[in-house]
Amino acid sequence: YADKAEHEHEPDLTSPLESDSLIDSKKDNGGKRILQLARKEWGMMALGMVLLVITQVGSLSVPYFIGKLIDAISDADMSTEEKRDEMKAITYQLCAILGFTSVMLFFRGFIFNGAGERVVSRLRIQLFKAILQQEIAFFDKNKTGELLSRLSSDTSKLQDAATSSVSVFIRQCLSIVIALTMMFVTSWRLSCVIVGVVPLIVAFAVSYGRFVKRLSKKYTDALAKAADIANESIANIRTTRAFAAEDVETDKYKELIGDPDDPTDKVFCWYPKAMSTHKLGIQKSMGHGGFIGILGGIGQFTLVGMLYYGGTLVLEDKMTAGRLISFMMYALNVGMSLAIFAGLFSSFMEAIGASTRTFEIIDRDPALKLRGGVKMETVDGRIDFEDVSFSYPSRPDVAVLDKFSLEIQKNTKVALVGQSGGGKSTVISLLERFYDSTGGTIRVDGKDIKTLDQSVLRLNFGLVAQEPVLFGVSILDNICYGVAAKQVGEGLDRNAGISMDRVVEVAKMANAHEFISQFPEGYQTMVGERGIKLSGGQKQRIAIARALMMNPSILLLDEATSALDAQSEELVQEAINRVMEGRTVVVIAHRLSTIKNADAIVLLKDHKIVDKGRHDELMGRCVEYQDLVKKQLTAAREEGNGA
Ligand code: ADP
CA nearest ligand 1 atom 22, residue = 392
- pLDDT over 70 percentage in the chain: 90
Give yes or no for a contact between 435 and 607, defined as CB atoms under 8 angstroms apart: no
Pocket perturbation via mutation, ligand 1, pick of 395, 400, 587 by most ligand atoms within 8 A of CB: 400
CA of 429 to the centre of ligand 1 (A): 10
If pLDDT is split at 50, 70 and 90, which confidence band does 191 have?
confident
CA nearest ligand 1 atom 24, residue = 392
Collapsed DSSP state (helix, strand, coil) of residue 405: strand
* Cβ 140 under 6 angstroms from ligand 1: yes
For 408, other C-beta atoms within 10 Å of its C-beta total 22
Position 586 scores a pLDDT of: 92
Find which of 51-55, 411-415, 627-631 is predicted with most confidence, using mean pLDDT: 411-415
Measured distance CA(568)–CA(531) in Å, rounded:
17
CA of 546 to the centre of ligand 1 (A): 26
Measured distance CA(315)–CA(318) in Å, rounded:
8
Which atom from ligand 1 is nearest to the alpha carbon of 419?
3
pLDDT reading at 20 higher than 70: no
* Cβ 209 under 6 angstroms from ligand 1: no
CA of 605 to the centre of ligand 1 (A): 12
More confident call, 102 vs 56: 102
CA nearest ligand 1 atom 6, residue = 423
**Could you please report the per-residue DSSP string of 540-608?**
HHHHHHHHHTT--SEEEEE---SPPPHHHHHHHHHHHHHHHTTSEEEEE---HHHHHH-SEEEEEETTE
Q: Per DSSP, what are the bridge partners of residue 558?
A: 588
Position 370 scores a pLDDT of: 75
CA of 423 to the centre of ligand 1 (A): 6
If pLDDT is split at 50, 70 and 90, which confidence band does 8 have?
very low
pLDDT reading at 213 higher than 80: no
CA nearest ligand 1 atom 14, residue = 421
- pLDDT over 90 percentage in the chain: 6
Position 15 scores a pLDDT of: 38
Position 268 scores a pLDDT of: 63
CA of 390 to the centre of ligand 1 (A): 11
CA nearest ligand 1 atom 21, residue = 392
73 DSSP assignment: H
If pLDDT is split at 50, 70 and 90, which confidence band does 446 have?
confident
pLDDT tens profile 474-532: 899 889 888 888 888 888 888 777 888 989 999 998 888 988 999 898 888 888 777 77
* Cβ 424 under 6 angstroms from ligand 1: yes
- E-assigned strands of 466-560? 554-558
Q: Amino acid letter at 576?
A: I
* Cβ 395 under 6 angstroms from ligand 1: yes
Collapsed DSSP state (helix, strand, coil) of residue 372: coil
Find which of 200-209, 516-525, 554-563 is predicted with most confidence, using mean pLDDT: 516-525
Position 274 scores a pLDDT of: 64
Domain residue spans in the chain? 2-8+26-363, 383-642
The dihedrals phi and psi of 454, each to the nearest 5 degrees, come to -65, -20
Q: Per DSSP, what are the bridge partners of residue 452?
A: 374
CA of 16 to the centre of ligand 1 (A): 20
The fold of the 383-642 domain, in CATH, is Rossmann fold (3.40.50)
pLDDT reading at 272 higher than 70: no
For 627, other C-beta atoms within 10 Å of its C-beta total 11
Measured distance CA(546)–CA(556) in Å, rounded:
13
Mean pLDDT of the chain: 80
CA nearest ligand 1 atom 12, residue = 400
What's the predicted TM-score (pTM) here?
A: 0.72
Position 627 scores a pLDDT of: 84
Q: Which of 254, 288, 299 is nearest to 274 (CA)?
A: 254
- E-assigned strands of 285-361? none
CA of 554 to the centre of ligand 1 (A): 22
Find which of 197-206, 347-356, 411-420 is predicted with most confidence, using mean pLDDT: 411-420
Which atom from ligand 1 is nearest to the alpha carbon of 137?
23
Give yes or no for a contact between 346 and 208, defined as CB atoms under 8 angstroms apart: yes
If pLDDT is split at 50, 70 and 90, which confidence band does 572 have?
confident
pLDDT reading at 13 higher than 70: no
Position 390 scores a pLDDT of: 92
Position 442 scores a pLDDT of: 92
* Cβ 426 under 6 angstroms from ligand 1: yes
Q: What is the mean pLDDT of residues 591-608?
A: 85
Q: What is the mean pLDDT of residues 322-331?
A: 86
Q: What is the mean pLDDT of residues 307-327?
A: 87
If pLDDT is split at 50, 70 and 90, which confidence band does 396 have?
confident
Pocket perturbation via mutation, ligand 1, pick of 135, 142, 426, 607 by most ligand atoms within 8 A of CB: 426
CA of 421 to the centre of ligand 1 (A): 6
* Cβ 400 under 6 angstroms from ligand 1: yes
Measured distance CA(153)–CA(148) in Å, rounded:
8
CA nearest ligand 1 atom 16, residue = 421
* Cβ 357 under 6 angstroms from ligand 1: no
If pLDDT is split at 50, 70 and 90, which confidence band does 633 have?
low
CA nearest ligand 1 atom 5, residue = 423
Which atom from ligand 1 is nearest to the alpha carbon of 395?
25
pLDDT reading at 223 higher than 80: yes
User: Could you tell me the sign of the dihedral formed by the alpha carbons of 235, 241, 243, 249, in that order?
Assistant: positive
Q: Amino acid letter at 239?
A: T
What's the longest Cα–Cα distance across the chain?
Answer: 125
Same fold, 2-8+26-363 and 383-642: no
Q: Per DSSP, what are the bridge partners of residue 442?
A: 385
pLDDT reading at 24 higher than 60: no
The CATH code for residues 2-8+26-363 is 1.20.1560.10
Measured distance CA(162)–CA(36) in Å, rounded:
8
CA of 614 to the centre of ligand 1 (A): 26
More confident call, 418 vs 200: 418
Pocket perturbation via mutation, ligand 1, pick of 397, 425, 610 by most ligand atoms within 8 A of CB: 425
More confident call, 22 vs 277: 277
User: Could you tell me the sign of the dihedral formed by the alpha carbons of 530, 531, 537, 538, in that order?
Assistant: negative
For 392, other C-beta atoms within 10 Å of its C-beta total 16
pLDDT reading at 21 higher than 70: no
Which atom from ligand 1 is nearest to the alpha carbon of 423?
6
Measured distance CA(537)–CA(544) in Å, rounded:
11
